[in-house]
Each structure stands twice: as structure tokens, then as C-alpha cells.
Amino acid sequence: METSNELKVKDYVNHANLSMPKTGVLFSDFISDTIKRKSRRMKESYGRNYRTVLYQIDRFCSETGAVLYTNSINEEFLDDFIVYLESKNLKKSYIKTILDSMKAMIRKAANYGYAVDRSYDDVEIDQEEIPAVYLTMNEIARIYYFQGLTKKQERIKDLFVVGCYTALRYSDLSTLKKENFSGGYISKITKKTGARVIIPIHDFVAEIYAKYDGDISTNLSSQHFNRYIKRICEKIGISDKVTQMYTKGGIIVTEIKEKWELISSHTARRSGATNLMRTGRLSVNDIMKITGHTSEKSFMRYVKTSKEDNAKQMAGDNFFRK
């Protein structure tokens, strides 16, 4: 990465406009150039996400012989591309992510002065609820008090419980240090957004902190953590049947799994946010200050309250009484 002393003198006139006014350029080249340019400042996930888009575009072009320019990404192409992705048995939520990323890149190309076909904006995929679970307060307590794990499993289990009561992302949860705990609060600069969150310390979290003298990290990657926490929750008996419905390959798929199979490090964060919401005592804005969400719309998609939970809550209403 260039330092301030090594930066070359540049002419920042938009050369894209000057050299190729209102013409199309190869879409994959435009994405690759943008990733390369943005990688110096954006997070690693930015490049990773768009490399996934590139993979799907390159695969489509290889199999169909298509050559795609910025002004090739129109309504007709996107309809064909969606059908192609569905033929690969991909989930609707994944296809929507690809589509949204492509449209964002096309808007960027238009801003740079390259030719685009505005009909691309007429193609939409509805937001599909992501199949995910959360743990109730009773389930979290079962996990916390469970005995019979190895020392390594115990440590992973305890960190997971901390996640359930802080709603931190795993990247922040796994890097908690002593200095983040002070005066009954956890203070942390979040890795993803750079925002500072301040979270009250739950009694369980305080006990876990004391148990490890503040050294609560497991030093595990999220992939290894997820593998362990699934097996730990299976051993504990978090085995309620969960029915999931989602669209894959253009058809609706129904799956029935045991709950432990669906648990990951992200379940802890989702459980924290959902259980805070279910108290009914805190505003969405208050909870968002803990979770770090920047919009109420994204937060409400994130919180998981099942239709069964909603029905149980409504059952107590006078409407359902004589």
C-alpha cells in the first residue's frame, strides 16, 4: 500500500469520461479494476463479494458464449441470468445478493460516464426471509449451566454465551480484551463499521469474565468456532425440530432440522438482538446502539421472532377470549 510520501502526483480529471465518452466497456474488466482500486481502502469483504459476482458472470459467459459490456446489463440479460443462476440450484437469497451487487456496479459505471442500459433497474428479486434461528433465554441458560464438557468445549461455550448477552459480531466477540471491560460496561470499536458500542455487562458475562480473569477469547476462526458450537449444542440437547422454507433453483424447498444444526457464532448475535427486542422495554433505537445497525429496516430483518412466538404472544390478548 502506498504511503502518503510515496503517492505519485496525479491528474484526477475523470479520464473515463474523456477517453471513452458514453461507450460501454467489458463489465468484468470494470469490476476487476474497481476492486483493485478500492482494495486499498475498503474492507477485504468488498473484494471477496465482488469476486463472487465475477465468478458467476465468467461462468455464464463461458457456458453461453456471451460477451458482456456495461450496456449489456439490461432487463433482458438479467432475466436470462437469473434463470441461469436458478438452474445452478442456487438459493434465491444468494441470487438477490448477486443481482444487487451487479446493479450497484452498473450505477457506478454510469457515474463514471460509461454507457449503460437503464432497463436493468426494472429487474427486482423480492427479499426472502433468511432461514435462521435464535435461542430463547431459557435455552441460553441451559447452555450456560451445562456440565460435562471438555475444557476446550467449556471455553467455547462460555464465549458463545457472552455473544448471546452482548449481540457482538464474532469478529468483535473473539477479540474482546480486559481493557474492553470497565465500570459494568463493555466498550468496543466494532471491526465492520468502526462504530463504538457500549454494552451493559450481564451477570453471566461478569461471571465468565471472572472465571477466565478477562481472557475469554478462544483464538478460533469463525469456521472452527461454528463447527465446535454445533456439536456442543447437540450434546446439550438443543434439538427442537425447526421447519425452514426457502427458494432454491426456482422452487420452494422445505427442510426439517434439529435446532443445533442451524446454530453458529452468528446465532449468538441474533439471539442477543432478538431477546432484547422481546423484552418490550427497550426501543429499537436503544437496541441498535448496542448491535451497531445503522438502519431500522436492516435491524428488523435481522431480529428473529417466529410465527409461533408471535401466535403465543397474541394468544394472551383479550381478542381471543369470550
**Fold classification of 137-305 (topology level):** hpI Integrase; Chain A (1.10.443)
Q: Position 219: which residue type?
A: N
119-141 exposure pattern, b = at least 16 Cβ within 10 A, e = fewer: ebeebebeeeeebbbbbeeebbe
Percent of the chain with pLDDT over 90: 60
Whole-number pLDDT of residue 145: 97
Per residue of the chain (322 residues), give pLDDT as tens: 445 455 566 554 455 445 544 677 899 999 999 998 887 777 777 888 899 999 999 999 999 999 999 999 999 999 999 999 999 999 898 999 999 999 999 999 999 889 999 999 999 988 777 667 899 999 999 999 999 999 999 999 999 999 999 999 999 999 999 999 999 999 999 888 788 899 999 999 999 999 999 999 888 999 999 999 999 999 999 999 988 888 888 888 888 999 999 999 999 999 999 998 888 788 888 888 888 787 787 777 777 655 556 666 666 656 666 6
pLDDT tens-place string over residues 26-60 = 999 999 999 988 877 777 778 888 999 999 999 99
Domain ranges of the chain: 15-122, 137-305
Whole-number pLDDT of residue 167: 92
Per-residue 3-state assignment (H helix, E strand, C coil) for the chain? CCCCCCCCCCCCCCHHHHHCCCCCCEHHHHHHHHHHHHCCCCCHHHHHHHHHHHHHHHHHHHHHCCCCEHHHCCHHHHHHHHHHHHHCCCEHHHHHHHHHHHHHHHHHHHHCCCCCCHHHHHCCCCCCCCCCCCCCHHHHHHHHHCCCCCHHHHHHHHHHHHHHHHCCCHHHHCCCCHHHEECCEEEEECCCCCCEEEEECCHHHHHHHHHCCCCCCCCCCHHHHHHHHHHHHHHHCCCCEEEEEEEECCEEEEEEEEHHHHCCHHHHHHHHHHHHHHCCCCCHHHHHHHHCCCCHHHHHHHCCCCHHHHHHHHHCCHHHCC
pLDDT tens-place string over residues 290-315 = 887 877 877 777 776 555 566 666 66
Q: Which class in CATH covers the domain with range 15-122?
A: mainly alpha
Whole-number pLDDT of residue 192: 82
pTM of the model: 0.71
